[in-house]
Amino acid sequence: MAQFPPKLFFRQLFDHLGSSTYTYLLADEDSKEAILIDPVKDQAERDEKLLGEFGFTLKYAINTHAHADHISATAILKSKLPGVKSVISTSSGGDADVHVKHGDVIRFGSFQLECLSTPGHTSGCTCFYFGAGNCVFSGDVLFIRGCGRTDFQGGSSEDLYDSVHTHLFTLGDTTVVYPGHDYKGMLMTTIGEEKRLNPRLGMGKTKEEFVAIMKGLNLPYPKLLDVAVPVNLKDGREE
């Protein structure tokens, strides 16, 4: 588990209703400013309640990309919690109050996240590095012993390999990785673990080997792709 600084509140939340998405709540306990990473519409009531219980003010609702397996909670959170701003990368092509690019910083209270542009799963994927806690929120780019698929939404196996090896595997080996999903009951990993043990991207795999692995997955068409992506590109609005 990451070693978070004093006055940093952290919760890893899980959507057990279908998407197996991890949502992350971080807050400055002094200023009470909070952020949510990858909030899920079906869990918006849970997240709103938790914020209220601790007296936090949600500053940003952040999407690592335009999700294909669930509808983002950004729109509903903005309707219930005035002042919230949604965040997504410029390269995603999606609507949001704040668009970010590589190297941008998102601040809440005395803390900040650094934006890392990591296309590959989709063309607009962004990971968020939290230096004060020596951890990275990797979205669907890097999973525990896996990675996101690359066969839709502008995905590219070559780009994903380059993104991981350029912007994630160059972080320290002790950097904790908090993924966007896990389907086997694991909570987190580290950069060092994934470099050694990830059967797709680590273990000395070349880009050519990775591309061949991804081509051979033969994954089924995502059930919610045609519903979720158009809504998420509109900042979670379902009108």
Distance CA 53, CA 47 (A): 10
> How do residues 130-158 score in pLDDT, each as one tens digit?
999 999 999 999 999 999 999 999 999 99
Share of the chain above pLDDT 90, in %: 94
d(CA 56, CA 26): 10
Classify the phi-psi angles of 185: left when phi > 0, otherwise alpha if psi is within -120 to 50, otherwise beta. Answer: left
- Cα atoms in the Cβ-side hemisphere of radius 13 Å centred on 227: 7
How far is residue 221 from each of residues 113, 129, 205, 224, measured CA to CA in Å? Answer: 33, 31, 26, 9
Residue with the two structure tokens 């959507």 = 15
Please state, for a pLDDT cut of 70, what percent of the chain lies above it.
100
Give the DSSP letter of residue 5: P
Q: What is the pLDDT of residue 221?
A: 86
- Token pair, residue 88, equals 């997504």
| Beta strand ranges found along 19-104 (DSSP E) | 22-28, 33-37, 57-62, 85-89, 98-100
* Both structure tokens of 234: 């509109």
Q: SS3 sequence, 201-224? A: CCCCCCHHHHHHHHHCCCCCCCCC
Confidence class for position 19, pLDDT limits 50, 70, 90? very high
- Indicate whether 239 pLDDT > 90: no
Per the prediction, the chain carries an average pLDDT of: 96
Q: Which domains does the chain have, with CATH numbers?
A: 8-221 (3.60.15.10)
Question: Which two tokens mark 50?
Answer: 């938790």
Whole-model pTM?
0.97
Q: How confident is the model at residue 9 (pLDDT cuts 50, 70, 90)?
A: very high
Phi and psi at residue 205, to the nearest 5°: -60, 135
Tokens of 125: 């994927």
Average pLDDT over residues 185-189: 95
C-alpha span between 186 and 181 (Å, rounded): 9
pLDDT in tens, 29-46: 999 999 999 999 999 999
- Radius of gyration for the alpha carbons in the chain, expressed in angstroms and rounded: 17
112/129 Cα distance (integer angstroms): 9
